[in-house]
Amino acid sequence: MPQHENHDHPVVEPVETHHHHAPVSTSSTTGHDHDHHAHHHDPVSTSSTTGHDHHAHHHAPVSTSSTTGHDHHDMHAGHGGGDHSHHDPAIFRRKFWLSLILTIPTLVFSTGLQDILGLAGPRFPGSQFIPAVFGIAIFLYGGLVFLRGAVTELKSRQPGMMTLISLAVVVALGYSVAVTLGLPGMDFWWELSTLITIMLLGHWIEMSAVMGAQDALGELAKLLPDEADLVHGDHVMTVPVSQLKLGDVVLVRPGAAIPADGEVVDGESHVNEALLTGESSSVSKTTGDAVIGGSVNGSGALRVRVTKLGDDTAVAGIMKLVADAQASKSGAQLLADRAAALLFYVALGSAVITLVAWLIIMPGDPAFVLERVVSVLVIACPHALGLAIPLVSQISTALGARKGILVKNRLALEVARTIDVVLFDKTGTLTTGTQGVAAVVPADGTTEQELLGLAAAVEAQSEHPIARAIVAEAQSRGLTLAKATGFAAQSGRGVTATIGKRELTVSSGRDLDLPPALAAQGAELGAGGATVVYLSSGTTVLGMLALADTVRAESREAVDALKQRGVRVAMLTGDSKAVGAWVAAQLGIDEVHAEVLPGEKSAVVKALQADGSKVAMVGDGVNDAPALAQADVGIAIGAGTDVAIESAGIVLASSDPRGVARTLALSRATWRKELQNLFWATGYNAIGIPLAAGALFGVGILMPPALAAVFMSVSTIVVAANAQLLRRLKL
């Protein structure tokens, strides 16, 4: 069998080291020196790849502390750029409800509002000062948060939404105080109160949406239990997880969450890793297999040796990836940031033009002029624009994390929608990297089930990888193995055992007189990279079994899903052309780059990019790293190496290649939502600013400051609601 490329086989290390694959013995099983076993390659870990936690363990510590304790004074730092990481919706909720209560008497006793509505409200000596008292109270309680944000923006020389809001409310406050003290005109107390209250409502809704998008991190943090059952000699004691040390053995009872990353040292069970990997089915775990902290044990009891704790665990690593992605900025976000900064100057310029124009047109009505200026400043607040991209991005990265798609860089997710070609590494990505039965070909007079059952019975006493593969295949088909006696290995002839009255042999077949049809088929399979063994009874050949690197059950579906999306699929391998063609034929891949040396993989990516194609590289090995970095989007399989993961922009938490199509679907859906939100966030300004300035005053259409605040807040709510619709995406 041609030699597999070395990068595709994970390095087996002791559990105490950085990786925690179960060690695999390299010594031959006693007596197993027959020829077909000599075809085997370097040993690889046979533990389930779905349980590996390579996707996470190399990352830095992650803070899981709540933002609820943050001082609200700093809430809007960097708001214009979409940073909502320190906002607490509870603060805005409290401020909104109290401001709303205080706004009611302001509206009831506002003579200006009464004149507009043609109503006569309650009046008594001193009642004219009630709107001023409550208006100032609302400003001090609910409005100062915007001023603090404005100070932060101006200190960073990045004026934005907070500066615009502050400018509007300060102008309204100053003018209203002057009118209340005797300046001719109409005060803005009710407009000021409603503006602040409505802005607080918009912020409350916005922050609730943003915090909801970040809840994925909190949910991940909750996966780890608070206590663990520590095995101490013959006793089991319950201790806090924080007291566990590397090398400790813990008992994981049926239905309990695994307290830390580790290796199974005793027991068998199925473990649910869905919340970590996105895979719906439970994963079988037995001695030597790696388990991820936070996954839920099934019906069997497990004893697990702790190999990783705290910030080194898979959960912490995933949280770090999600947090980094949410902190990073895509091209769309950078565009939105520039637009928000530009809008400040547009708003300021529009306010100046409005002021000058109306002073010329209506010099005798300064109250009207000021009202137009305030309305322009309010409607121009880029609140929706500041929310448009960050909220979509945070929701998409959180959604991806729940489906096993870990976005390291938002730009990678954004580019994924443009991918024309997906280039898959073969071994470990499209295949499992372990031996499995690829074909069972019986001779005349023997059935397929009979052939497999007898071969498995002969090999049942062997621990050799080929023997295990044959036995596993028989068990997967539900076959009951006959009892074999007299198991022995004969140098140059293979292994023999007696079943019933027949002595059966599993060998390479070199000393057998093979039927022509069987020999031809065996030669064909061997040329395709398979290891071929024959079952015989004396000189009678009962059939042939071919073993090869097992193609993942999900790989064909992954390829088909990409093709349906119009994406070209290619395969990259260091194996021979025959091996590459054999695997490609099973998966429906037409383009194969075989016999590629590790250092040449990036060159293949460059060649695919030469015609302008956008290329995504999917791999798991150390030698895939240059190709992952060269590709427009690098996607690392979750069971891959640290180097591969570091070189990729997106990491699949599981080894399921169907995650690639899901990634492209997530990218396209995210981009659509970003465009929709950008359109709405900028469109309402294009319409609202002229209306607020009084462009349609001649036809009786005028927008007061309070209505401008409502219009602006509605746009924010629409943007937030539209972003939430992304949660309905089915991946």
Whether the Cβ atoms of residue 475 and residue 457 lie closer than 8 Å to each other: no
Gap between the Cα atoms of 190 and 134, Å rounded: 9
289-to-48, 262, 455, 699 alpha-carbon distances in Å:
7, 9, 27, 77
Using alpha carbons only, give the angle 305, 550, 489 rounded to the nearest 5 degrees: 80
User: Which residue in 88, 248, 425, 642 is the catalytic one?
Assistant: 425
Contact by Cβ (8 Å): 666, 400: yes
Q: What are phi and psi of 596, to 5 degrees?
A: -95, 120
3-state secondary structure of 109: coil
Beta bridge partners, 546, equal 439, 532
- Quote the tokens at residue 561: 């899903």
Alpha carbon distance 498, 485 (integer Å): 5
Report CA torsion sign: 105, 111, 113, 114.
positive
The gap from C-alpha 598 to its chain's centroid, in whole angstroms, comes to: 28
- What phi, psi does 620 have (nearest 5°)? -135, -10
DSSP 12: P
| Nearest residue to 618 (alpha-carbon basis) of 423, 415, 432, 421 | 423
What six digits make up the tokens of 110?
């506002």
Dist CA 52 CA 49 (whole Å): 5
Secondary structure in 3-state letters for 128-164? HHHHHHHHHHHHHHHHHHHHHHHHHHHHCCCCCHHHH
CA distance 134 to 145: 17
Annotated active-site residue 425? The verdict is: yes
CA separation for the pair 150, 153 (Å, rounded): 5
Instruction: State how beta strands 633-637 and 650-652 pair.
Output: parallel
Distances (CA, A) of 536 to 448, 460, 496, 660: 14, 16, 9, 44
The one-letter code for the residue type at 351 is A
Catalytic positions, please?
425
